[in-house]
Chain A
Amino acid sequence: MSIQPCGIFNRNYGQCMAVMRTTPQWITFIAFLILMGVLPLFLDSYILSVINRIAIYIVVAHGLNILTGYTGQISVAQSAFMAVGAFTTGILSTKLGINLWLCMPFAGIVAGLVGILFGIPSFRVKGLYLALISIGAQFIIMYTLLHWKSLTGGVHGISIETLKFGSIEFGGDKSFFYIAVGTACLATYLVKNIVRTRSGRAFIAVRDNDIVAEFMGVNLYLYKVLSFFVGCFFAGIGGWLWACYIGSASIDQYSLIDSVWFLAMVVIGGMGSVLGTIFGVFFVEILREVTNIFGPVIGDAIPYLGMTVATALPLLTLGMIIVVFLIFEPRGLAHRWEIIKNLYRLWPYSR
């Protein structure tokens, strides 16, 4: 329960449920939107590329947060579902000549349906066993994409033309920023509201105690399937974004380790928290950028280690960060953020 400033009273249910309650909140929100509008004009394309990637990953991580954080169905195959979205985009746009914009919902829906296919065993098993199924799903999906050469192009993948709207091309980092960040904002809005609806409360009930949830009239099968669909839908949209961003659908970026990255983002940010997911993605991605920068530097400084440092450093830091967070901050950055916020609000009466 968040603490509101003095003088905020709930006069009706609408006010009680509203996300934005105070004028400063509205001001910050509008300032954020304006900032996002003008940001590409000032930043260079390297920082914009980092932000674009963060925005795309936010969309995907939101999906995993609904599936794992809210519904409690562990999935280690999120990047494979992202790949399904990317390849759906590639196949529809090149083989059938469908407009790239129209591919977006299809990418989400196909990924969602594949997600349901691998979510069906969740009727019978849960917890560890579901995680095992998703690891199997990861390998089977990537195998299919790699070996169905007539459809997916195998190792070469499918190249995708630039996203266009009228005469505007969304090719470079600067123009794609609006697409990526816009979609990320839209996804955040959707997720924030999905978890406040009846379905969202049902998800949380399934996570906390499925027997009680069923007893209280939550259709367990329906909501598990729905959760898999929604989670993988977001992954598919993320795949669409990624395919449009790099201009091709290829199998390189969707390995098991990438799925572990996504799970790490959700857990580091804080499970079952929309804000936490965003924190988690920022934290992990910025860490990855830093290691990408420092890897070659360390490699130069200590020639004995050679250039393998550049490949090894991201893995070492990610593994280390997961271990440290699980031991020392299992509730994630969102929890830490709440503590800091309360410290500031209650000052000087906080501890």
Chain B
Amino acid sequence: MEQFLSYFLPGLMSGCVYTVIALGFIVVYRTTSVLNFAQGEFFLLGAYGVYFAIAQAGLAAYIGIPLVFIMLGVLGSLIERFTLRPLVGQPILAIILMTLGLSVFFKGVVVLIWSDIILPVPSIFTAGGLKFLGVSLPTQYIWFAGISICISVILYLFFTRFRTGLQMTAVADNTQLAQSCGVSVNRVTAAAWIIACIITGAGGYMLCTITGVYPLMGELGLRSLSVVLAGGMESIAGAMIMGPVIGAIEFVLSGYLDPYVGGGLRDVVAFAVLIVFLVFRPQGLFGWKIIERV
């Protein structure tokens, strides 16, 4: 039981980071029906940006980190304006390939500036441990859980209470109707991209304070796609619940099975979950749209 808990609890908490990254996917998908595969690179840019601001440029954390996230938001809105808006009305493959191309491009940018070595990201979270139910938990994980719950709750309120959030839901539901009711679709879309990029960058920063950052981390960002799918492509509550669940599944499975399969199971469990969900329940647990079924 103790062994199980020692896998289960850290998994549950580190899964909260998946929730944060998944929320980045969800905000864009809800509003524009674009699943942004370049999200993995925003995840990288968040971590690298903080590394640059604090370790290289020498800014204080409370100036550097907000500055990085503002820059990420600006970048997100530029990308939306100049690469994805021209593709409105194009087939889905064009949009998928566009975001994949952007992800390759930003990976190139990251490699160009910071090379492909592992860099330690300066952490603002207090190090240390905590005993809970006989399991020692790093304090960072508790921070992650807290921050991700905060972000989820804020986003949930934003989408249900605030004007812009409601407009995003309207645009997602029926773009033409929203536009004819006076919602500026362009502005709302840009807002969605800004929010998504900032959230994803924050998630990337959190995860990379533990592992350090290197260009391949971007592909690990794609793992949270399974959280998006399992929770439902549009559901914030779904991501909140499924993030920790999938994190726990990853840790528990890899904890018990890694000795038998030669390690590294954590990297693929999420993708297996993704495929299982797509086959048996494509709309996820809490999705509100009826998925195009064949």
**Which chain A residues have a beta carbon within 8 Å of chain B's beta carbons?**
68, 72, 74, 76, 118, 120-129, 131-133, 135-137, 139-140, 143, 146-147, 149, 154, 210, 220, 256-257, 260, 263-264, 267, 271, 305-306, 308-309, 311-323, 326-327, 330
Contact = CB atoms under 8 A, between A and B. Distances in A.
Contacts of B294: 122-126, 210, 220
A336 B268 CA distance: 41
A143 B220 CA distance: 13
Given A131-B93, A308-B111, A320-B105, 17 more contacts: A76-B96, A125-B279, A125-B282, A125-B292, A131-B92, A137-B275, A143-B268, A147-B263, A149-B262, A264-B97, A267-B97, A271-B93, A306-B115, A318-B104, A319-B106, A322-B97, A330-B94
A317 B83 CA distance: 16
Contact of B278 (A133, A314, A320): A133
Contacts of A220: 294
Contacts of B293: 124-125
Interface in B86-126: 86-87, 90, 92-94, 96-98, 100-109, 111-112, 115-116
Q: List 7 tightest A-B contacts by C-beta distance, closest first.
A: A319-B105, A322-B101, A315-B108, A312-B112, A316-B108, A136-B271, A319-B104
Interface in B272-288: 272, 274-275, 278-279, 282
Given A143-B267, A257-B104, A260-B101, A326 B96 contact: no
Most chain A Cβ neighbours within 10 Å, of B35, B97, B229: B97
Nearest to A206: B294
B218 to A, nearest CB: 10
Interface residue tally on B, bucketed by range: 35 or more
B271 A129 contact: no
B92 A139 contact: no
Given A312-B111, A315-B107, A326-B87, A260 B100 contact: yes
Q: Is the interface of B mostly helix, strand, loop or mixed?
A: helix
Contact of B101 (A72, A140, A305, A323): A323
B127 interface: no
Contact of B268 (A68, A120, A140): A140
A138 B97 CA distance: 16
Given A132-B229, A260-B100, A121 B278 contact: yes
A330 B102 CA distance: 16
B275 A322 contact: no
Contacts of A132: 35, 225, 229, 274, 278
B150 interface: no
Nearest to B282: A125
Interface of B: 35, 37, 83, 86-87, 90, 92-94, 96-98, 100-109, 111-112, 115-116, 219, 222, 225-226, 229, 261-264, 267-268, 271-272, 274-275, 278-279, 282, 291-294
A311 B112 CA distance: 8
B11 to A, nearest CB: 19
A265 to B, nearest CB: 11
A319 B101 contact: yes
Contact of A147 (B112, B264, B274): B264
B92 A256 contact: no
Contacts of A124: 278-279, 282, 293-294
Contacts of A306: 115
A227 to B, nearest CB: 13
A308 B116 contact: yes
A256 B116 CA distance: 17
B98 A74 contact: no
Nearest to B92: A127
Contacts of A147: 261-264
Given A124-B282, A136-B274, A323 B111 contact: no
Q: Which of B93, B116, B293: most chain A Cβ within 10 A?
A: B93
11 contacts: A135-B225, A267-B93, A306-B115, A308-B112, A313-B108, A315-B108, A315-B111, A319-B103, A319-B107, A327-B86, A330-B90
Among A127, A129, A308, A317: residue with most chain B CB under 10 A: A129
Given A264-B97, A326-B94, A121 B263 contact: no
Contacts of A131: 92-93, 96
A210 B35 CA distance: 23
Contact of B35 (A122, A128, A314): A128
